[in-house]
Amino acid sequence: MNDTTFAVLGTGGIGRRTLEVSQHKDGLTPVAACDRHGVAIDFDGLDVDELLEATEGNIDSGPQSTTSRDDDSRDETLETDGGATATPGVKQHGENAGVVASEQARPSEDSIQDIIDHGDGIDAVLLALPNYEHDFIPRVADRFLEGGYSGVMVDVLKRSRVIGMLDDRTEAFEDAGITFVCGAGATPGLLTGAAALAAQSFVEIESVDIWWGVGLKSGYEDNRGTVREDIAHLPEYDIETARELSEEEIEAIIDDHDGVIEFTDMEHADDVLLERAGICDAEDVTVGGILDVEHDEKPTTTTVSVTGTTFDGETGTNTFELDDATSMAANVNGPAIGYLKTGVRRNRSGEYGVFGPAELMPGF
């Protein structure tokens, strides 16, 4: 496989770690990265170490906003075509904020458009933007479609309902020559693919249970966007109310749970992604987990359990388990890059449209 050039949209926790992990993968050259303030593009390859140092502390820093194109309050937002805007995390200290603190970068009033304008030299784009609005990722995809991009797009989104929005764009992706890999992180992503493999032992699936544990080794300060998105899965919140929470309110929620938050019956895209791959019905999938925002160690072992009936009438459960030593960054960003590489292979062979992680195997 030839070398793959890729861009990262968003340089918060996921974006920064993707750049870091890419240095340990063969055949990958990061050539572009952006946030709402600026963009860095170098087709000889970005200096990742310098960029990571410059963007340290590139965190989500407060309630997000959604405005319309007619609204004048567009300050510090990344606009998606069709009217929605969202605010990715940006470094809040220093004369320059975020990517523009890097000597490789420059300020930009529309950094996504800058990436699109250089799309001919970018094989794949990883969307590492906070998905605070259900239609945010699809609207970003619309911008790439309208800009004439042809290549691979990969996201690590979590929400089930977003998959349908992407599926609605399948024909447009096919016409444009875009291979879109959705839900390609840990869960959904790595664990969705593991469930699909574990299900092969059975002729009928009874249930798929995904239970994850995350200890934030880098702390809440570097993962505010992730924590905010997870809080939206608590029964008393949703994606809209979680978006409006202040940092103080989020910290109060964390304190109320003594730093350890348990989630059950999450609206995670594993369900619809397994259904669209023909593994089981979405209603047979449950996702839950425990988030510890104060300790490095995982509060529980991450497992996927697939229960079903074999061809000879036996009922059994296959279980896939992640070692507790593997971090969230390793289990999210490693598979995301693996799915990105697989997406590029599919794209180069002329396969376009929308693909879920259960339909692909990530490349090492």
Q: Which residues have a catalytic role annotated?
A: 158, 229, 233
Q: Helix, strand, or coil here: 38?
A: strand
- In angstroms and rounded to an integer, the radius of gyration of the C-alpha atoms of the chain is 20
In terms of C-beta density within 10 A (0-12 exposed, 13-18 middle, 19 or more buried), how is residue 224 classed?
buried
Cβ partners under 8 Å of residue 353, min gap 6: 170, 173, 174, 178, 179, 180
Structure tokens at 213: 């544990």
| Spatial separation of the C-alpha atoms in residues 143 and 356, rounded to whole Å | 21
Answer yes or no: are the C-beta atoms of 85 and 79 closer than 8 Å. Answer: yes
Cα separations in angstroms, 58 against 55, 155, 158? 5, 19, 21
Answer yes or no: are the C-beta atoms of 17 and 156 closer than 8 Å. Answer: no
Say what angle helices 247-256 and 224-231 make with each other, to 10 degrees.
Answer: 70
Answer yes or no: are the C-beta atoms of 300 and 290 closer than 8 Å. Answer: yes
